Amino acid sequence: MLSIGFSQNSYNYGFNGKNTFKSSESCYNEPSIWDRRDNNTPDNFKEIKKEFLYRGGVIQNQAQLDFLIHEKGIKSVLSFINPYSQEDKKFLKTELPLINNAKEKTGLNFDYYDCFLRRDEIYENEQKYITEYAEKINKMPKPIYAHCFHGSDTSKWMEDIFWKAHKQNLIKYD
């Protein structure tokens, strides 16, 4: 009788070639199927308003950019990371060449929105950010992918700012 061995990650490892199950010790050293990440979407990717605005982290590879352009129809990328700052530029070292290549091939638009990275600074001047962010979004081709470093802090705060601008009827959906 043939015994097929499956690991905790059968999608990735499957049959181990020795007709036995992997030891439980080796399973703990491998990433769980529950912990795996989809490298085809940016970190913390989220739809804010379908076919209008999405948010997440830095675009790290061509597959992520292809997902945004071909599956979500993204026409603009709005970065909350300053591409002119030497300190911040290191976070965009992979993304900027991808964006520049896509600009030439697809006409993808790239812009930067200067917002603070600390929540208290954003909310101290909340109406200023609501108005400025709405103006920035209204000028860009839609749909837009807005991102910070990891897609969890500034992107989330700016999502809140977007919804406040929406409630004030500052967002143009045409």
Q: Which tens digits make up the pLDDT trace of 121-137?
A: 777 888 988 999 999 99
* Domain span at 14: 1-36
Instruction: Provide the domain count of the chain.
Output: 2
Rounded-to-integer distance, Cα 120 and Cα 8, Å: 43
Residues 153 and 128 in one domain: yes
pLDDT band at 115, cuts 50/70/90? confident
Residues 29 and 78 in one domain: no
Residues 61 and 31 in one domain: no
Task: Write the pLDDT tens digit of every residue in 22-33.
Answer: 444 444 444 434
pLDDT for the residue numbered 64: 95
Residues 75 and 96 in one domain: yes
Residues 81 and 7 in one domain: no
Query: Which of 3-7, 73-77, 146-150, 157-161 ranks highest by mean pLDDT?
Result: 73-77
Residue 173 inside a domain? The answer is no
pLDDT for the residue numbered 89: 80
Residues 1 and 54 in one domain: no
Residues 31 and 60 in one domain: no
Say whether 23 sits in a helix, a strand or coil. Answer: coil
Strands 53-56 and 46-49: antiparallel
Residues 57 and 140 in one domain: yes
CATH at 155: 3.90.190.10
Has residue 62 got a pLDDT over 80?
A: yes
- Assigned token pair, 146: 């807005």
Residue 79 inside a domain? The answer is yes
Judged on CB neighbours under 10 Å (0-12, 13-18, 19+), 54 is: buried
Q: What average pLDDT does this structure show over 150-163?
A: 90
Instruction: Note the pTM of the prediction, 2 decimals.
Output: 0.75
pLDDT for the residue numbered 116: 61
Rounded-to-integer distance, Cα 158 and Cα 149, Å: 13
12 half-sphere exposure, CB direction, 13 A CA radius:
12
Residues 106 and 143 in one domain: yes
pLDDT band at 85, cuts 50/70/90? confident
Q: Of 115 and 72, which is predicted with more confidence?
A: 72
pLDDT for the residue numbered 61: 94
Residue 160 inside a domain? The answer is yes
Residues 8 and 84 in one domain: no
Residue 172 inside a domain? The answer is no
Residues 19 and 98 in one domain: no
Q: What average pLDDT does this structure show over 2-26?
A: 42
Residues 25 and 50 in one domain: no
